[in-house]
């Protein structure tokens, strides 16, 4: 079934969601991933949108309540076995494929422009990860790190694009996987700036970024002891000689607001044929005094001082807060922190559902920003967290409107059939209150 066209754009949101995930594409993908093996009661289009706009915003807390939501919206009554068997490796593949498709779609439709100071770069990318706590029974598959009791956790690793105003990639790892193991450097970093957390701090990673034509900004690790070999910006008046000294030695004596120098650090290359080569490479180091912390914030980068000065490097790194807001949005609004099941397939499926909900939210958010811009409103005041609250509160209305738009409807007799099915307790051996007196 294709999407309807309406020249008056009264269905602008529905049209946009159908453009992001066309119904025909959803059904074809369900067949390709094995989710739809033959004609079944469950429509992959209805299932997809109920998952994304129902469970994904935390409106449905259990699979049983999610099943009832699907039956209400999907014009069908299901047995418990028919519903629960849907949460399988096939569904995980289906949802993951949808995530990849959604990310690629949003990336093609750029929504934000970099400032003039960053005009020579294609994008600013922020990589980070967050931990999702799972049921302790999953500790064998996903063991947690440094816990006094048995615990389980999954690491969700994301790369956020400043230009696309959304995610560029998402991947899942065990909690014990080091951050540096989740970052694979390649040609994709060319002409892009990566803002990296200390968990990704490795000199050979920075070198690989440079060799692939990319740029990076990272905080300096406290245990790192680079040697200063040149000064980029000289200060007026009496200043200490910093060349040939280690950064920690200089910062302890520094009286100025900033330090902008070139440093040398050792780099251990990967082993080839059992041998490991060691190199010495140079990076730019900037240290900016933070009045609130009463200390220097120190960064490594390969961005020239002719492009961004020391204060601008520190300010740009502060944009990493955007990925923290995405994690907060996913956990507080899109049910990423509400996965209590012991079924591994359900865990993975619902993680991808949360990501899909965020992608759909970003799509509608961009439409709202576009309208606001046409009205001359300040776009900076349309914050992601405030938007996530509005979206989660109205998602059910979006779901109803979208399914109506797709001609997935129910009449009064459909409701009677569904209520008859939902109200019947499937647990035959459960003792009912007062059943010995009346029923």
**pLDDT tens, the chain, 439 aa long:** 555 544 445 788 999 999 999 999 999 999 999 887 755 566 788 888 888 888 766 644 555 665 666 666 555 665 555 555 666 788 899 999 999 999 988 888 756 778 888 988 999 999 888 888 888 888 888 888 866 777 888 999 999 888 887 888 899 988 888 887 888 899 999 999 999 988 889 898 999 999 999 999 999 998 888 999 998 877 654 466 788 899 888 888 877 778 899 999 988 776 666 666 778 899 999 999 888 878 889 999 999 999 999 999 999 998 888 888 888 888 888 877 777 778 888 888 888 988 999 999 989 888 888 888 778 877 677 787 788 888 888 888 888 889 889 887 644 444 344 444 434 455 445 555 445 555 4
Architecture field, domain 106-327:
Alpha-Beta Complex (3.90)
Contact by Cβ (8 Å): 354, 55: no
The residue behind tokens 């005094």 is 289
Contact by Cβ (8 Å): 54, 399: yes
- Residue 362 burial (CB < 10 Å; 0-12/13-18/19+)? buried
Spatial distance between the Cα atoms of 152 and 421, rounded to a whole number of angstroms: 36
- Sketch the domain layout of the chain as residue ranges: 12-105+342-422, 106-327
Closest to 281 (Cα-Cα) out of 194, 201, 207, 185:
207
């Amino acid at each position: 079934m294709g999407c309807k066209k309406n020249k008056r754009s009264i269905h602008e949101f529905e049209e946009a969601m159908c453009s992001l995930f066309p119904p025909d594409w959803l059904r074809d993908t369900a067949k390709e991933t094995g989710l739809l093996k033959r004609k079944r009661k469950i429509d992959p289009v209805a299932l997809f949108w109920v998952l994304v706009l129902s469970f994904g915003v935390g409106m449905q807390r259990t699979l049983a309540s999610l099943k009832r939501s699907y039956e209400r919206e999907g014009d069908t009554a299901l047995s418990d076995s028919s519903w629960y068997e849907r949460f399988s490796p096939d569904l995980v593949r289906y949802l993951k494929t949808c995530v990849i498709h959604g990310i690629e779609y949003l990336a093609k439709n750029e929504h934000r422009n970099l400032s003039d100071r960053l005009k020579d770069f294609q994008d600013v990318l922020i990589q980070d990860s967050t931990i999702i706590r799972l049921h302790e029974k999953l500790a064998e598959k996903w063991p947690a790190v440094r816990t006094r009791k048995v615990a389980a956790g999954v690491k969700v690793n994301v790369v956020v694009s400043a230009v696309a105003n959304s995610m560029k990639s998402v991947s899942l790892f065990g909690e014990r996987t080091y951050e540096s193991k989740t970052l694979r450097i390649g040609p994709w970093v060319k002409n892009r700036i990566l803002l990296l957390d200390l968990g990704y701090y490795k000199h050979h990673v920075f070198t690989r970024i440079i060799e692939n034509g990319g740029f990076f900004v990272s905080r300096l690790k406290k245990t790192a002891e680079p040697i200063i070999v040149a000064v980029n910006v000289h200060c007026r008046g009496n200043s200490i000689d910093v060349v040939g000294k280690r950064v920690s030695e200089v910062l302890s004596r520094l009286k100025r607001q900033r330090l902008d120098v070139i440093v040398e650090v050792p780099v251990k290359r990967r082993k080839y044929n059992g041998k490991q080569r060691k190199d010495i490479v140079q990076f730019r180091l900037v240290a900016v005094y933070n009045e609130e912390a009463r200390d220097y914030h120190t960064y490594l980068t390969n961005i020239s001082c002719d492009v961004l000065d020391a204060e601008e490097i520190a300010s740009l790194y502060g944009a990493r807060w955007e990925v923290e807001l995405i994690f907060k949005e996913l956990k507080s609004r899109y049910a990423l922190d509400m996965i209590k099941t012991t079924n591994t397939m359900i865990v993975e499926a619902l993680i991808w559902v949360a990501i899909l909900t965020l992608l759909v939210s970003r799509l509608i958010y961009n439409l709202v920003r576009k309208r606001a811009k046409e009205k001359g409103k300040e776009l900076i005041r349309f914050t992601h967290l405030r938007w996530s609250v509005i979206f989660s509160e109205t998602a059910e209305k979006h779901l109803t409107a979208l399914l109506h738009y797709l001609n997935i409807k129910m009449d009064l007799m459909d409701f009677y059939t569904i209520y008859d099915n939902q109200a019947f307790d499937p647990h035959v051996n459960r003792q009912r209150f007062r059943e010995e007196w009346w029923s």
